Amino acid sequence: MVNNYNGYFVILLVFMFNLNLYNQEQIKTFYPCLDSIFSNLKTKTSYKHFNINIKKTEIELTEKGICKLTLKDKKLIEWLQKMNNNNLKVYKVLNERKEFYLFSSQNNQATGLAINFTSFLILKLNSTKAKNIFTFESLSSDKKLIFLDDISERINYIKITFGENFFWKRDWDNIDFKIESNIIKDNVVSIEKVINTTCSQ
């Protein structure tokens, strides 16, 4: 009985190891798409990193141990409670005239394919209260896919998800991706462009 148990345990470890390699491989396949996207972006957006201190009813954004901003927003706090604090990142995204805050992390409640996604929250402020909050998930965790357009100065974000072919067929040898370009106009998200691609080099 003990030998059988050990045998099952070894098989389980091998399966989990191979599954992890599978997940890594599927994520790597969209990197060529990022190179193409970044080569076509024209933006002077910069990103300023903040540390975050999460309290029960508020959060503090700090820089070098000094609190720069205190936020009290129920929706933001509820979103943070679902996230993995160990990989939580916060940035002020800005150009010469506009700015907003960007939060990203992995959702603690994610299972299956969803564990490959990064959750994002865009926060536009009015004084110290949240004016508007927008959330989305993407296979890419790169903050540079969220930016301010140089001409319109509107918030743009590009998200990458699995394509319809992979969603229905689960063809691991030919994973396709949906790349969706979005823009926030008058506090409403509009889809500007959608392409489906295998992101092959």
Residue 99 pLDDT = 92
The arithmetic mean of pLDDT across residues 153-181, rounded, is 87
User: What's this model's pTM, rounded to 2 decimal places?
Assistant: 0.81
Give per-residue pLDDT as tens, 102-112.
Answer: 999 999 988 88
Output the pLDDT for position 127: 60
Given a cut of 90, whether residue 94 has pLDDT beyond it is: yes
HEC sequence for the chain: CHHHHHHHHHHHHHHHHHHHHHHHHHHHCCHHHHHHHHHHCCCCCEEEEEEEEECCCCEEEEECCEEEEEECCHHHHHHHHCECHHHCEEEEEECCCCEEEEEEECECCCCHHHHHCEEEEEEEEECCEEEEEEEEEECCCCHHHEEECCCCCCEEEEEEEECHHHHHHCCCCCCCEEEEEEEEECCEEEEEEEEEECCCC
pLDDT at 143 over 50: yes
Structural domain boundaries in the chain: 2-197
